[in-house]
A and B are shown apart, each in its own frame.
Chain A
């Protein structure tokens, strides 16, 4: 089994701190890239990053990347997917080689509009094919034996909470458990299942809400177990975030025209909060159901449609509001699926897959090359970008802060933003 140290060491993208320092004098290839990035940090961290927002869309269950971004002319694709392969005529072609699933009209439009970066083959060394383990790896940047229970965004938000002024640094929308990516010992991110649920019903009828606050904050709880402190922090965060969100939504009653789907509704609330100038920097939403072991075609098509339509409506709304340059929307899944289809008209758990970044600052087009279909890793696509390189780009180039400590090592950012020299 992989241990944590190997996980770090074997990633060819992790730059050892010592190499990094020597590199900036010795000008190795990596050193050159890194020192460039160092000067970039110094020049931009101050003003232009101050309105920037990152929205994460998590496709839960393992999205079939190969049927999302399709190498439609590749014979090996046809051979591996005799039943599930998307006919060439149906593919939304981007170039002579690649195109999107027919449900992804919204993605194709975004690329047409110059607002979509697709990074090929994102994964990590020694892929874990368990949903939960792999999701935890994406969330924490560590493997299980490191026993890290804080997420990369949690660590980022806890270190830079001043970026959101008095608002919540991050918000999670959904009924599922809060994603580990947002977890931090020092900062609690509010989870919002439904906006109505954010109001304490008792508070409507009485002046009791005034009585509650000091109760929540009452001292003398220090000698008790840390679960009490944890629960208490959760209630205080609920009070504060709830109040502010109610205020903001009251001041912006206009409902953007979004698809009436689960994801559409979540992104519509996010859009209202952003345009009402909430200072929150991280929004996290999920879309579940991508674990398509059986009868994949209809289910996958409908999920991709939901995702791509919601994403396209969201970007369009921000465009109208003149906010596309302040926002990036990052979509990922815990793994892709096996190249070969299975006998149940489905696909089993795989490894590397593309990730998607939409926004005015996304470098439009494909980054990297589509993973080879004849050089597989135990039946799965090989990765060429470590997911922590993607994170490094968000942390360092989008938010303009140091990423090493947050990611556990230095990673070479991948240039999917047009803020970065190619």
Chain B
């Protein structure tokens, strides 16, 4: 190795010293390590989009296991909120404005009774990223979104097969036509590189042979169609097997590769547990085994991660950088607020994330990539603008009303309320005292709004 590498100090990896068996066994609250509001808030941030104080008190009263059960329960039947949301989505699809679709989903993340399903749908949206910038067809984007939602906590094989024939995806990957004389490699490459295995687990030859399997797969009039005249029906040689002809067989073969569960587990770990450092393979081994035992159904492994001892280890709290969506929806939920979601969808784009508009087929990198000097200012501006927006209501009233209900009588107690409701990690006292000194004479709604804006500029506000 070159001199550059030799000069690096060895990196300490938090996860190197953690026993995998300990990590993934179920956490149980105890006298020293009780199920309290702080732990409940952590759970709601990771498995959902945050919670209000009332939600947290409710979860604490209900107990750890019952709270987890609620996260994983099937959506309530005939839920009026859900019916209303689906009705709204249909109206938007009819109006054909994908930007409205984005505001619809953000609103649903705020109100959905099963936030984990939305969180996982967002995970798959980043995984099978498709942008309305290139596919500005509301109906197709919504259809894909429903596909992701239906399998969000289910069978990955079904999801992969579904996405392979999903019109929005194939249009996005320029794969609406695929003729046998010149196979289009794009979908085949993303299938192994980004969707199932990760780079380094296949050869160029595998990609080329896979591409032959998908010839004749077409999108016509917004529907998937198999065109036998354009399908190369010869045998293909992929991953050492010579018995594959069809695209469906090819996907099944890909899904049997040992890289698949490893790849998915590593992504789920990053999404739910910690952006960094990357864990050693041994730590993920029990999860990979679970996913294999469950035949790539992700529900069990997600549950194991979320209920684990490692998840509730104090070192894990605040070890993620909140995505712009987590920041915005989390703040609204913490303040029991609703807002103009179209405004939110338009503004959040500037921070590097908007649903239905991922930046590339790779989705969002997340972690440190969320933060740069421009997005740092932008984050504070977004939260401040949400507070100021005239459509924003806090438990139905003004921010001042809400503050009063929380028992915040002055600036100091209001800062306490916001810090404990909105942040995973408290900022240093010196900084808070500074804000307090500046703000001590502020009064009324404008004061509360500004204080939240200032607090949103703090590094701690960005952690989840």
Interface residues in chain A, defined as those with a beta carbon under 8 Å from any beta carbon in chain B: 1, 4-5, 8, 17, 128-133, 144-147, 155, 172, 175-178, 188-194, 197-202, 205-208, 210-212, 214-216, 218-221, 224-225, 227-228, 230-232, 234-235, 237-239, 241-242, 288, 291, 293-295, 340-344, 346, 348-349, 378, 404-406, 408-409
Q: In the bound complex, do residue B318 and residue A234 qualify as a contact, i.e. CB atoms below 8 Å apart?
A: no
Closest CB in chain A relative to B78 CB, distance in Å: 42
Least CB separation from A200: chain B residue: B377
Rounded to whole angstroms, the CA-CA distance of A188 and B375 in the bound complex is 13
Rounded to whole angstroms, the CA-CA distance of A197 and B372 in the bound complex is 12
Q: In the bound complex, do residue A343 and residue B178 qualify as a contact, i.e. CB atoms below 8 Å apart?
A: yes
Contact digits for B356-397, partner A, Cβ 8 Å, 1 yes 0 no: 000110101100110111111110110011000000000000
**Residues in chain A near residue B378, CB distance under 8 A:** 193, 197
Rounded to whole angstroms, the CA-CA distance of A291 and B359 in the bound complex is 13
Partner of A218, one of B431, B437, B438: B431
Contact digits for B28-53, partner A, Cβ 8 Å, 1 yes 0 no: 00000000000000000000000000
**Residues in chain A near residue B1, CB distance under 8 A:** 4-5, 146
Interface residues in chain B, defined as those with a beta carbon under 8 Å from any beta carbon in chain A: 1-5, 7, 173-179, 181-186, 189, 193, 199-200, 204, 207, 275-276, 278, 315, 318-321, 349-350, 352, 359-360, 362, 364-365, 368-369, 371-378, 380-381, 384-385, 425, 427-432, 434-435, 437-439, 450, 453-454, 457-460, 462-463
Least CB separation from A168: chain B residue: B373
Q: In the bound complex, do residue A231 and residue B380 qualify as a contact, i.e. CB atoms below 8 Å apart?
A: no
**Residues in chain B near residue A234, CB distance under 8 A:** 371-373, 375-376
Q: In the bound complex, do residue B425 and residue A346 qualify as a contact, i.e. CB atoms below 8 Å apart?
A: no
Q: In the bound complex, do residue A211 and residue B435 qualify as a contact, i.e. CB atoms below 8 Å apart?
A: yes
Known: A144-B199, A215-B435, A228-B463. A191 touches B374 (CB 8 A): yes
Known: A202-B450, A238-B373. A231 touches B462 (CB 8 A): yes
Q: In the bound complex, do residue A218 and residue B428 qualify as a contact, i.e. CB atoms below 8 Å apart?
A: yes
**Residues in chain B near residue A215, CB distance under 8 A:** 427, 431-432, 434-435, 454, 457-458
Least CB separation from B179: chain A residue: A343
Q: In the bound complex, do residue B463 and residue A231 qualify as a contact, i.e. CB atoms below 8 Å apart?
A: yes
Known: A130-B193, A343-B184. A227 touches B319 (CB 8 A): yes
15 CB-based A-B contacts, threshold 8 Å: A1-B200, A129-B207, A191-B374, A193-B378, A201-B381, A202-B450, A215-B458, A231-B321, A232-B459, A234-B375, A293-B175, A342-B183, A343-B182, A344-B175, A349-B185
Closest CB in chain A relative to B182 CB, distance in Å: 3
Rounded to whole angstroms, the CA-CA distance of A208 and B434 in the bound complex is 10
Rounded to whole angstroms, the CA-CA distance of A283 and B372 in the bound complex is 15
Residue of B182, B320, B321 with most partner-chain A CB within 10 A: B182
Known: A190-B372, A343-B181. A294 touches B454 (CB 8 A): no
Rounded to whole angstroms, the CA-CA distance of A225 and B301 in the bound complex is 27
Rounded to whole angstroms, the CA-CA distance of A67 and B346 in the bound complex is 37
Q: In the bound complex, do residue A200 and residue B434 qualify as a contact, i.e. CB atoms below 8 Å apart?
A: no
**Residues in chain A near residue B189, CB distance under 8 A:** 129-130, 349
Q: In the bound complex, do residue A191 and residue B458 qualify as a contact, i.e. CB atoms below 8 Å apart?
A: no
Rounded to whole angstroms, the CA-CA distance of A218 and B425 in the bound complex is 15
Rounded to whole angstroms, the CA-CA distance of A201 and B199 in the bound complex is 42
Rounded to whole angstroms, the CA-CA distance of A406 and B3 in the bound complex is 10
Partner of B177, one of A4, A8, A242, A343: A343
Known: A188-B373, A191-B375. A231 touches B186 (CB 8 A): no
Partner of A210, one of B371, B373, B438: B438
Told that A199-B377, A224-B318 touch, could you supply 5 new A-B pairs with CB distance under 8 A?
A130-B189, A178-B369, A227-B319, A227-B368, A343-B183
Closest CB in chain A relative to B80 CB, distance in Å: 37
Partner of B434, one of A175, A214, A221, A225: A214
Least CB separation from B372: chain A residue: A191
**Residues in chain A near residue B364, CB distance under 8 A:** 177
Known: A210-B438, A404-B3. A218 touches B430 (CB 8 A): yes
Q: In the bound complex, do residue A218 and residue B384 qualify as a contact, i.e. CB atoms below 8 Å apart?
A: no
Q: In the bound complex, do residue A227 and residue B463 qualify as a contact, i.e. CB atoms below 8 Å apart?
A: yes
Least CB separation from B373: chain A residue: A238
**Residues in chain B near residue A132, CB distance under 8 A:** 193, 199, 362
**Residues in chain A near residue B439, CB distance under 8 A:** 208, 211
Rounded to whole angstroms, the CA-CA distance of A211 and B199 in the bound complex is 47
Closest CB in chain B relative to A125 CB, distance in Å: 14
Closest CB in chain B relative to A408 CB, distance in Å: 4
Q: In the bound complex, do residue A293 and residue B184 qualify as a contact, i.e. CB atoms below 8 Å apart?
A: yes
**Residues in chain A near residue B349, CB distance under 8 A:** 175
Least CB separation from B185: chain A residue: A348
Closest CB in chain A relative to B181 CB, distance in Å: 6
**Residues in chain A near residue B429, CB distance under 8 A:** 220
Q: In the bound complex, do residue A344 and residue B381 qualify as a contact, i.e. CB atoms below 8 Å apart?
A: no
Closest CB in chain B relative to A232 CB, distance in Å: 4
Q: In the bound complex, do residue B177 and residue A294 qualify as a contact, i.e. CB atoms below 8 Å apart?
A: yes
